[in-house]
Chains A and B, each alone.
Chain A
Amino acid sequence: MHEWALAESVIKSAVEYAAAEKFRKLKEAGVVFGELQAIDKEIFVFALEELRKQFPAARGCKFRIIKEPAAFRCKACSHVFLLKGLKKTRDEAEFIHFVPEMAHTFLKCPKCKSPDFELTAGRGVSISYLKGDK
Protein backbone atom coordinates (compact mmCIF):
# COMPACT_ATOMS: atom_id res chain seq x y z
CA MET A 1 0.00 0.00 0.00
CA HIS A 2 2.89 2.40 -0.51
CA GLU A 3 0.83 3.54 -3.51
CA TRP A 4 -1.25 5.44 -0.94
CA ALA A 5 1.62 7.86 -0.24
CA LEU A 6 2.08 8.56 -3.95
CA ALA A 7 -1.67 8.94 -4.54
CA GLU A 8 -1.71 11.48 -1.72
CA SER A 9 1.08 13.41 -3.45
CA VAL A 10 -0.86 13.42 -6.74
CA ILE A 11 -4.10 14.70 -5.25
CA LYS A 12 -2.30 17.30 -3.11
CA SER A 13 -0.28 18.56 -6.09
CA ALA A 14 -3.39 18.74 -8.27
CA VAL A 15 -5.27 20.73 -5.63
CA GLU A 16 -2.31 23.09 -5.10
CA TYR A 17 -1.97 23.63 -8.85
CA ALA A 18 -5.70 24.32 -9.18
CA ALA A 19 -5.48 26.91 -6.39
CA ALA A 20 -2.45 28.57 -7.99
CA GLU A 21 -4.22 28.72 -11.37
CA LYS A 22 -7.42 30.00 -9.68
CA PHE A 23 -9.50 27.08 -11.00
CA ARG A 24 -13.06 27.30 -9.75
CA LYS A 25 -13.39 23.58 -10.33
CA LEU A 26 -10.79 20.89 -10.96
CA LYS A 27 -12.22 18.64 -13.68
CA GLU A 28 -9.55 16.25 -14.89
CA ALA A 29 -5.97 15.21 -14.19
CA GLY A 30 -3.65 13.05 -16.29
CA VAL A 31 -1.64 10.74 -14.02
CA VAL A 32 1.32 9.04 -15.66
CA PHE A 33 2.40 5.61 -14.42
CA GLY A 34 5.97 4.90 -15.48
CA GLU A 35 6.39 1.23 -16.36
CA LEU A 36 9.56 0.91 -14.24
CA GLN A 37 7.83 1.56 -10.89
CA ALA A 38 5.00 -0.90 -11.66
CA ILE A 39 2.38 0.92 -9.59
CA ASP A 40 -0.70 -1.16 -8.76
CA LYS A 41 -3.49 0.74 -10.51
CA GLU A 42 -6.27 -0.79 -8.43
CA ILE A 43 -4.69 0.19 -5.11
CA PHE A 44 -3.75 3.63 -6.41
CA VAL A 45 -7.28 4.38 -7.66
CA PHE A 46 -8.75 3.10 -4.37
CA ALA A 47 -6.42 5.45 -2.47
CA LEU A 48 -7.41 8.39 -4.71
CA GLU A 49 -11.10 7.68 -4.06
CA GLU A 50 -10.52 7.61 -0.30
CA LEU A 51 -8.24 10.64 -0.30
CA ARG A 52 -10.53 12.85 -2.37
CA LYS A 53 -12.85 12.96 0.69
CA GLN A 54 -10.09 14.92 2.48
CA PHE A 55 -9.55 17.26 -0.47
CA PRO A 56 -12.87 18.97 -1.34
CA ALA A 57 -11.32 20.72 -4.36
CA ALA A 58 -10.69 17.31 -5.97
CA ARG A 59 -14.09 15.77 -5.25
CA GLY A 60 -15.29 16.03 -8.84
CA CYS A 61 -11.95 15.51 -10.53
CA LYS A 62 -11.52 12.63 -12.96
CA PHE A 63 -8.07 11.06 -12.68
CA ARG A 64 -7.06 9.51 -16.00
CA ILE A 65 -4.24 6.96 -15.74
CA ILE A 66 -1.74 6.99 -18.60
CA LYS A 67 0.83 4.20 -18.80
CA GLU A 68 4.28 5.19 -20.07
CA PRO A 69 6.75 2.50 -21.22
CA ALA A 70 10.20 2.63 -19.64
CA ALA A 71 13.10 3.44 -21.97
CA PHE A 72 16.82 3.58 -21.27
CA ARG A 73 19.96 4.94 -22.91
CA CYS A 74 23.32 3.55 -21.87
CA LYS A 75 25.81 6.28 -21.00
CA ALA A 76 28.74 3.94 -21.63
CA CYS A 77 27.87 2.64 -25.13
CA SER A 78 24.83 4.78 -26.13
CA HIS A 79 22.69 1.67 -26.65
CA VAL A 80 18.96 2.40 -26.38
CA PHE A 81 16.88 -0.33 -24.75
CA LEU A 82 13.52 -1.11 -23.16
CA LEU A 83 12.52 -2.70 -19.84
CA LYS A 84 10.99 -5.73 -21.49
CA GLY A 85 13.56 -8.46 -21.70
CA LEU A 86 15.75 -7.18 -18.83
CA LYS A 87 16.13 -9.88 -16.19
CA LYS A 88 15.20 -9.20 -12.58
CA THR A 89 14.09 -11.38 -9.70
CA ARG A 90 10.78 -10.89 -7.91
CA ASP A 91 12.60 -9.24 -4.96
CA GLU A 92 14.56 -6.94 -7.27
CA ALA A 93 11.33 -5.89 -9.01
CA GLU A 94 9.85 -5.13 -5.57
CA PHE A 95 12.85 -2.97 -4.60
CA ILE A 96 12.59 -1.06 -7.90
CA HIS A 97 8.87 -0.63 -7.21
CA PHE A 98 9.70 1.19 -3.95
CA VAL A 99 12.70 3.16 -5.26
CA PRO A 100 12.97 3.12 -9.07
CA GLU A 101 16.64 4.21 -8.90
CA MET A 102 17.43 0.71 -7.66
CA ALA A 103 17.26 -0.16 -11.38
CA HIS A 104 20.91 0.95 -11.44
CA THR A 105 21.74 -1.71 -8.87
CA PHE A 106 19.84 -4.59 -10.46
CA LEU A 107 19.59 -3.85 -14.19
CA LYS A 108 22.39 -3.61 -16.75
CA CYS A 109 22.72 -2.40 -20.32
CA PRO A 110 22.04 -5.55 -22.38
CA LYS A 111 24.84 -4.64 -24.78
CA CYS A 112 27.78 -3.64 -22.56
CA LYS A 113 26.51 -4.66 -19.07
CA SER A 114 27.02 -1.16 -17.63
CA PRO A 115 24.76 0.06 -14.80
CA ASP A 116 25.47 3.63 -15.93
CA PHE A 117 22.36 4.26 -18.01
CA GLU A 118 19.85 7.06 -18.28
CA LEU A 119 16.16 6.44 -17.79
CA THR A 120 14.69 8.49 -20.63
CA ALA A 121 11.02 7.68 -19.97
CA GLY A 122 8.70 5.71 -17.73
CA ARG A 123 10.25 6.17 -14.28
CA GLY A 124 7.39 6.66 -11.82
CA VAL A 125 4.30 8.71 -11.05
CA SER A 126 3.80 12.20 -12.47
CA ILE A 127 1.01 14.53 -13.57
CA SER A 128 0.89 15.24 -17.30
CA TYR A 129 -2.05 17.65 -17.44
CA LEU A 130 -4.73 19.32 -15.33
CA LYS A 131 -8.05 20.69 -16.58
CA GLY A 132 -10.40 22.94 -14.70
CA ASP A 133 -13.00 25.72 -14.98
CA LYS A 134 -11.83 29.23 -14.22
Chain B
Amino acid sequence: MKIDPRPSVIEERLRHVKRIIAVTGWKGGIGKSVTACSLALLLAKKGYRTGLFDLDFAGASDHLILGAKGLFPKEEKGLEPPLLEGVKFMSVVFFSENKAVPLRGANVSDAIIELLAITQWGELDFLVLDMPPGINDAALDVMRFARKAEVLAVTTSSVIARDVLGRSLALYRSLKTPVLGVVENMARGAASRGDSARLRFDPGLEAALGSPAALLRTGFCRDLSAAVKTLKL
Protein backbone atom coordinates (compact mmCIF):
# COMPACT_ATOMS: atom_id res chain seq x y z
CA MET B 1 0.00 0.00 0.00
CA LYS B 2 1.17 3.50 -0.79
CA ILE B 3 -1.35 6.29 -0.30
CA ASP B 4 -0.50 9.79 -1.46
CA PRO B 5 -2.30 11.85 1.21
CA ARG B 6 -1.92 15.28 -0.44
CA PRO B 7 -4.91 15.22 -2.82
CA SER B 8 -7.24 14.73 0.16
CA VAL B 9 -6.77 18.34 1.32
CA ILE B 10 -6.75 20.17 -2.02
CA GLU B 11 -10.52 20.61 -2.07
CA GLU B 12 -10.29 22.03 1.45
CA ARG B 13 -7.58 24.51 0.38
CA LEU B 14 -9.84 25.77 -2.44
CA ARG B 15 -13.07 25.62 -0.44
CA HIS B 16 -13.20 29.36 0.24
CA VAL B 17 -12.33 30.37 -3.32
CA LYS B 18 -15.52 31.49 -5.05
CA ARG B 19 -14.32 31.34 -8.65
CA ILE B 20 -11.25 29.86 -10.33
CA ILE B 21 -10.33 31.30 -13.73
CA ALA B 22 -7.84 29.22 -15.72
CA VAL B 23 -6.20 31.44 -18.35
CA THR B 24 -5.25 28.98 -21.08
CA GLY B 25 -3.95 28.93 -24.62
CA TRP B 26 -2.34 26.00 -26.32
CA LYS B 27 0.32 27.96 -28.22
CA GLY B 28 3.28 29.64 -26.57
CA GLY B 29 3.91 33.38 -26.80
CA ILE B 30 0.30 34.46 -27.30
CA GLY B 31 0.06 36.49 -24.10
CA LYS B 32 -1.44 34.15 -21.50
CA SER B 33 0.78 35.32 -18.66
CA VAL B 34 0.32 39.05 -19.31
CA THR B 35 -3.43 38.44 -19.61
CA ALA B 36 -3.52 36.39 -16.36
CA CYS B 37 -1.47 38.96 -14.41
CA SER B 38 -3.43 41.92 -15.76
CA LEU B 39 -6.73 40.18 -15.05
CA ALA B 40 -5.66 39.54 -11.44
CA LEU B 41 -4.59 43.18 -11.02
CA LEU B 42 -7.86 44.46 -12.53
CA LEU B 43 -9.96 42.23 -10.28
CA ALA B 44 -7.99 43.29 -7.19
CA LYS B 45 -8.35 46.95 -8.19
CA LYS B 46 -12.10 46.47 -8.34
CA GLY B 47 -11.98 45.33 -4.73
CA TYR B 48 -12.21 41.59 -5.29
CA ARG B 49 -10.09 39.33 -3.08
CA THR B 50 -7.85 37.87 -5.74
CA GLY B 51 -5.14 35.22 -6.04
CA LEU B 52 -2.76 34.43 -8.89
CA PHE B 53 -0.99 31.08 -9.30
CA ASP B 54 1.68 30.78 -12.01
CA LEU B 55 1.46 27.15 -13.12
CA ASP B 56 3.84 27.50 -16.05
CA PHE B 57 6.76 25.90 -14.19
CA ALA B 58 9.08 25.74 -17.19
CA GLY B 59 8.43 29.31 -18.26
CA ALA B 60 7.30 31.03 -15.05
CA SER B 61 7.14 34.75 -15.81
CA ASP B 62 4.36 36.30 -13.73
CA HIS B 63 6.95 37.54 -11.22
CA LEU B 64 8.64 39.49 -14.02
CA ILE B 65 5.37 40.95 -15.29
CA LEU B 66 4.39 42.02 -11.76
CA GLY B 67 7.87 43.11 -10.69
CA ALA B 68 7.75 40.75 -7.71
CA LYS B 69 11.03 41.06 -5.82
CA GLY B 70 12.02 39.99 -2.33
CA LEU B 71 8.78 38.11 -1.73
CA PHE B 72 8.37 34.69 -0.12
CA PRO B 73 5.31 32.85 1.21
CA LYS B 74 4.71 32.94 4.96
CA GLU B 75 4.84 29.58 6.72
CA GLU B 76 1.66 29.20 8.75
CA LYS B 77 -0.07 25.80 8.77
CA GLY B 78 1.06 25.61 5.15
CA LEU B 79 2.24 28.43 2.94
CA GLU B 80 0.42 31.75 2.75
CA PRO B 81 1.09 33.49 -0.59
CA PRO B 82 2.61 36.97 -0.31
CA LEU B 83 0.45 39.95 -1.23
CA LEU B 84 1.46 42.00 -4.25
CA GLU B 85 -0.68 45.00 -5.25
CA GLY B 86 -3.65 43.38 -3.53
CA VAL B 87 -3.08 40.00 -5.25
CA LYS B 88 -2.08 36.87 -3.34
CA PHE B 89 0.68 35.51 -5.55
CA MET B 90 2.14 32.00 -5.74
CA SER B 91 4.83 30.82 -8.13
CA VAL B 92 7.46 28.11 -8.38
CA VAL B 93 10.10 30.86 -8.66
CA PHE B 94 9.88 31.37 -4.90
CA PHE B 95 11.60 27.99 -4.63
CA SER B 96 13.85 27.97 -7.69
CA GLU B 97 15.86 31.18 -7.20
CA ASN B 98 14.81 32.03 -10.77
CA LYS B 99 16.84 29.09 -12.08
CA ALA B 100 15.62 26.55 -14.66
CA VAL B 101 13.15 23.95 -13.37
CA PRO B 102 13.82 20.91 -15.61
CA LEU B 103 10.90 18.65 -14.73
CA ARG B 104 9.42 15.67 -16.53
CA GLY B 105 5.63 15.34 -16.64
CA ALA B 106 5.21 13.21 -13.52
CA ASN B 107 7.45 15.61 -11.57
CA VAL B 108 5.38 18.59 -12.71
CA SER B 109 2.29 16.79 -11.50
CA ASP B 110 3.91 16.07 -8.12
CA ALA B 111 5.02 19.68 -7.70
CA ILE B 112 1.56 21.00 -8.57
CA ILE B 113 -0.12 18.62 -6.12
CA GLU B 114 2.39 19.63 -3.42
CA LEU B 115 1.72 23.35 -3.91
CA LEU B 116 -2.04 22.88 -4.12
CA ALA B 117 -1.94 20.86 -0.88
CA ILE B 118 0.18 23.28 1.14
CA THR B 119 -0.94 26.69 -0.15
CA GLN B 120 -3.42 28.39 2.15
CA TRP B 121 -5.32 30.78 -0.13
CA GLY B 122 -7.92 31.65 2.47
CA GLU B 123 -11.04 33.47 1.30
CA LEU B 124 -10.88 34.65 -2.30
CA ASP B 125 -13.43 35.94 -4.78
CA PHE B 126 -11.17 34.95 -7.70
CA LEU B 127 -8.16 32.69 -8.13
CA VAL B 128 -6.54 33.26 -11.52
CA LEU B 129 -4.45 30.35 -12.80
CA ASP B 130 -1.79 31.14 -15.38
CA MET B 131 -1.69 27.85 -17.25
CA PRO B 132 1.27 26.54 -19.23
CA PRO B 133 0.86 26.26 -23.01
CA GLY B 134 -0.78 23.11 -24.33
CA ILE B 135 -2.64 20.29 -22.68
CA ASN B 136 -0.22 18.60 -20.35
CA ASP B 137 0.14 17.45 -16.76
CA ALA B 138 -0.50 20.90 -15.32
CA ALA B 139 -3.68 21.39 -17.33
CA LEU B 140 -4.97 17.90 -16.59
CA ASP B 141 -4.19 18.23 -12.88
CA VAL B 142 -6.05 21.53 -12.68
CA MET B 143 -9.10 19.93 -14.27
CA ARG B 144 -8.75 17.04 -11.84
CA PHE B 145 -8.33 19.03 -8.64
CA ALA B 146 -9.88 22.44 -9.32
CA ARG B 147 -13.16 21.17 -10.61
CA LYS B 148 -14.86 24.54 -10.46
CA ALA B 149 -12.25 26.08 -12.76
CA GLU B 150 -13.63 28.10 -15.67
CA VAL B 151 -11.49 28.51 -18.77
CA LEU B 152 -10.60 31.87 -20.26
CA ALA B 153 -8.88 31.01 -23.56
CA VAL B 154 -6.35 33.33 -25.14
CA THR B 155 -5.59 33.27 -28.85
CA THR B 156 -4.27 35.51 -31.59
CA SER B 157 -5.64 36.14 -35.07
CA SER B 158 -3.11 33.64 -36.52
CA VAL B 159 -4.75 30.71 -38.30
CA ILE B 160 -2.35 28.43 -36.42
CA ALA B 161 -3.41 29.72 -33.00
CA ARG B 162 -7.07 29.68 -34.01
CA ASP B 163 -6.92 26.09 -35.24
CA VAL B 164 -5.28 24.93 -32.01
CA LEU B 165 -7.82 26.99 -30.06
CA GLY B 166 -10.64 25.10 -31.79
CA ARG B 167 -9.18 21.79 -30.66
CA SER B 168 -8.80 23.03 -27.08
CA LEU B 169 -12.39 24.25 -26.92
CA ALA B 170 -13.64 20.90 -28.24
CA LEU B 171 -11.72 19.12 -25.48
CA TYR B 172 -13.03 21.43 -22.76
CA ARG B 173 -16.57 20.82 -24.05
CA SER B 174 -16.05 17.05 -23.91
CA LEU B 175 -14.65 17.33 -20.38
CA LYS B 176 -17.59 19.57 -19.41
CA THR B 177 -15.15 22.28 -18.29
CA PRO B 178 -16.95 25.64 -18.47
CA VAL B 179 -15.44 28.09 -20.96
CA LEU B 180 -15.98 31.73 -20.00
CA GLY B 181 -14.91 32.92 -23.40
CA VAL B 182 -12.07 33.62 -25.79
CA VAL B 183 -9.95 36.75 -25.91
CA GLU B 184 -8.07 37.57 -29.08
CA ASN B 185 -4.73 39.10 -28.16
CA MET B 186 -2.51 41.33 -30.32
CA ALA B 187 -5.62 42.13 -32.35
CA ARG B 188 -5.68 44.78 -35.05
CA GLY B 189 -8.67 47.00 -35.69
CA ALA B 190 -11.67 47.57 -33.47
CA ALA B 191 -11.91 46.90 -29.73
CA SER B 192 -14.29 44.40 -28.09
CA ARG B 193 -17.82 44.49 -29.42
CA GLY B 194 -20.74 42.20 -28.77
CA ASP B 195 -19.43 38.74 -27.88
CA SER B 196 -16.02 39.40 -29.40
CA ALA B 197 -13.37 40.11 -26.73
CA ARG B 198 -10.33 41.72 -28.34
CA LEU B 199 -7.08 42.99 -26.86
CA ARG B 200 -5.53 45.30 -29.42
CA PHE B 201 -1.79 45.25 -30.09
CA ASP B 202 -0.26 47.73 -27.65
CA PRO B 203 3.27 48.92 -28.52
CA GLY B 204 3.56 50.42 -25.02
CA LEU B 205 2.95 47.16 -23.19
CA GLU B 206 6.56 45.91 -23.10
CA ALA B 207 7.78 49.05 -21.31
CA ALA B 208 5.10 48.61 -18.62
CA LEU B 209 6.14 45.06 -17.68
CA GLY B 210 7.51 44.87 -14.16
CA SER B 211 5.32 47.68 -12.85
CA PRO B 212 1.71 46.86 -11.89
CA ALA B 213 0.81 50.57 -11.81
CA ALA B 214 2.17 51.14 -15.32
CA LEU B 215 0.56 47.91 -16.56
CA LEU B 216 -2.85 49.05 -15.34
CA ARG B 217 -2.45 52.27 -17.33
CA THR B 218 -1.78 50.51 -20.66
CA GLY B 219 -4.17 50.27 -23.57
CA PHE B 220 -3.86 46.50 -23.16
CA CYS B 221 -5.39 46.69 -19.65
CA ARG B 222 -8.12 49.07 -20.85
CA ASP B 223 -9.04 46.55 -23.54
CA LEU B 224 -8.88 43.67 -21.05
CA SER B 225 -11.14 45.59 -18.69
CA ALA B 226 -13.64 46.02 -21.55
CA ALA B 227 -13.23 42.34 -22.45
CA VAL B 228 -14.02 41.37 -18.85
CA LYS B 229 -17.31 43.24 -19.19
CA THR B 230 -17.97 41.67 -22.61
CA LEU B 231 -17.41 38.23 -21.10
CA LYS B 232 -19.55 39.14 -18.07
CA LEU B 233 -16.80 37.97 -15.72
Contact with B along A77-109 (1 / 0, CB 8 A): 000000000000001100100111110111000
Cross-chain contact B97 with A127 (CB below 8 angstroms): no
Please report the C-alpha to C-alpha distance between residue A128 and residue B101 in the assembled complex, in whole angstroms: 29
- Residue A125 is within 8 A (CB to CB) of chain B in the complex: yes
Cross-chain contact B3 with A98 (CB below 8 angstroms): no
Given contacts A9-B9, A12-B8, A101-B103, contact A4 B78 (CB under 8 A): yes
How many A-B contacts are there with CB distance less than 8 Å?
A: 101
Interfacial chain A residues near B7, Cβ < 8 Å: 9
- Residue B75 is within 8 A (CB to CB) of chain A in the complex: yes
Cross-chain contact B114 with A129 (CB below 8 angstroms): no
Cross-chain contact A95 with B77 (CB below 8 angstroms): no
- The smallest C-beta distance from A28 to any residue of chain B, in angstroms, reads 13
- The smallest C-beta distance from B141 to any residue of chain A, in angstroms, reads 13
Q: Which of B19-27, B115-123, B165-173, B192-200 contacts A (4 or more CB under 8 A)?
A: B115-123
User: For the side of the interface on B, what is the size category?
Assistant: 20 to 34
Residues of B within 8 A of A (CB): 1-9, 12, 75-79, 92, 95-97, 99-104, 107-108, 110-111, 114-115, 117-118, 120
**Beyond A13-B5, A128-B2, 20 extra complex contacts between A and B, CB < 8 Å:** A1-B75, A1-B77, A2-B78, A6-B118, A8-B9, A9-B6, A9-B117, A12-B12, A92-B97, A95-B97, A98-B118, A101-B108, A102-B96, A104-B101, A104-B107, A105-B100, A116-B102, A126-B2, A126-B4, A127-B1
